[in-house]
Amino acid sequence: MPINFHHAESLSNRYVDLVLAGLAVGAVALAGGDERLRPGHNVAATNEILSESGIVVDYYRLYGPTAGAGRG
């Protein structure tokens, strides 16, 4: 699923996976009433929730610079 941002090139699917996973994690946190999320811009809480989800670790495991390299 390609996504185009204003004045930007299309993003590859691997980046879209991370963006959509982050949106899903955020939606679940909001729907679940996570008390860390208060009205306004909560960068620290958002970073904490995303970190707890493990999506960034999984992203780098799948797509990081050494993924599939077969070399140590």
In a domain, 37, yes or no: yes
- Domain of residue 20 covers 11-63
Length of the chain: 72
Taking a C-beta distance cutoff of 8 angstroms, is the pair 24, 30 a contact? no
6 Cβ contact partners less than 8 Å away, ≥ 6 residues apart: none
In a domain, 69, yes or no: no
In a domain, 54, yes or no: yes
In a domain, 25, yes or no: yes
Q: Residue 48 pLDDT > 50, yes or no?
A: yes
Exposure string for 56-70, b = 16+ CB within 10 A, e = fewer: eeebeeeeeeeeeee
Q: What is the number of domains present in the chain?
A: 1
In a domain, 15, yes or no: yes
Cα 33 from Cα 8, distance rounded (Å): 34
pLDDT band at 71 (very low <50, low <70, confident <90, very high): very low
Q: Residue 39 pLDDT > 70, yes or no?
A: yes
How much is the mean pLDDT over the chain?
82
